[in-house]
A and B are shown apart, each in its own frame.
Chain A
Amino acid sequence: QVQLVQSGAEVKKPGASVKVSCKASGYTFTSYGISWVRQAPGQGLEWMGWISAYNGNTNYAQKLQGRVTMTTDTSTSTAYMELRSLRSDDTAVYYCARTATMISDYWGQGTLVTVSS
């Protein structure tokens, strides 16, 4: 069965960086992309970007350009999302999702990132 297992919760100070992992299993990793979506406390869903696990091509949300980097490690079927220069409004649950033809069908359990001094 398809599973996406994300890394654990993080607490970071403003200005720091965070790197969240998403380990995939149950399917051919390079046949799909991975999207990243975040959700601030009590708020809606915000798309952050997408990476092709086949060739590493990326597409980032404009508001995060320059602060976010998405990568994959095909040897371990793991995707990573790094967000730099963290601010308090980056506090959110971060989700990865398997994505094919731009449709996200399986999601990770979410990783809470808290930014606080």
Chain B
Amino acid sequence: EIVMTQSPATLSVSPGERATLSCRASQSVSSNLAWYQQKPGQAPRLLIYGASTRATGIPARFSGSGSGTEFTLTISSLQSEDFAVYYCQQYNTWTFGQGTKVEIK
């Protein structure tokens, strides 16, 4: 099984600052990597697929990068609505990371 490891578990950021979230795969997943945002009581929302392609309607402040085993989600200037839990998912064999909670500093 491909294990996805996200870091940090919790990220404290002030509104307007940049947030950088990491995701590492235990073996190469090429660019078959997605990022999701989940707010309390809501379903996950697709942000990024193919490691770097924004999904429909996703603001440009969200960007993804990486390939193989190392991936990054960057939120360039955090807005109040961006405080949430973020999950990476590899879709070679469909496993999720454990999530990174982005909280207000």
Mark A residues whose CB is within 8 Å of B: 35, 37, 44-47, 50, 61-62, 95, 97, 102-105, 107-110
List the count of A-B residue pairs having beta carbons below 8 Å apart.
Answer: 45
Digitize B50-87: 1 where CB-to-A-CB distance is under 8 Å, 0 elsewhere.
00000110000000000000000000000000000001
User: Beyond the given A103-B91, A105-B49, A107-B45, could you list 9 further A-B residue pairs with CB under 8 A, ordered by the A residue number?
Assistant: A37-B44, A44-B87, A44-B97, A45-B44, A45-B87, A45-B89, A102-B32, A105-B56, A108-B43
Whether the pair A102, B94 counts as a contact (CB closer than 8 A) is yes
Which one of A44, A47, A62, A95 contacts B43 once the chains associate, using CB atoms below 8 Å?
A: A95
Whether the pair A104, B46 counts as a contact (CB closer than 8 A) is yes
Q: A103 to chain B: closest CB distance in Å? A: 5
In the bound complex, CA of A46 to CA of B89 (Å): 10
CB-based nearest A residue for B41: A110
Whether the pair A44, B96 counts as a contact (CB closer than 8 A) is yes
Q: A16 to chain B: closest CB distance in Å? A: 25
Whether the pair A103, B46 counts as a contact (CB closer than 8 A) is yes
Contacts A102-B32, A103-B49: A45 and B96 contacting too (C-beta < 8 A)?
A: yes
Query: For the complex, is B95 an interface residue (Cβ under 8 Å from A)?
Result: yes
Residues on the A chain within 8 Å of B20, using CB:
none
CB-based nearest B residue for A50: B94
Which one of B38, B43, B49 contacts A109 once the chains associate, using CB atoms below 8 Å?
A: B43
Mark B residues whose CB is within 8 Å of A: 1, 32, 34, 36, 38, 43-46, 49, 55-56, 87, 89, 91, 94-99
A-B pairs with beta carbons under 8 Å apart, 28 shown = A35-B94, A44-B87, A44-B99, A45-B36, A45-B44, A45-B87, A46-B96, A47-B89, A47-B94, A47-B95, A47-B96, A50-B94, A61-B94, A62-B1, A95-B44, A97-B43, A102-B32, A102-B91, A102-B94, A103-B46, A103-B49, A103-B91, A104-B34, A104-B46, A105-B46, A105-B49, A105-B56, A109-B43
Q: B36 to chain A: closest CB distance in Å? A: 8
Residues on the B chain within 8 Å of A97, using CB:
43-44
Residues on the B chain within 8 Å of A50, using CB:
94
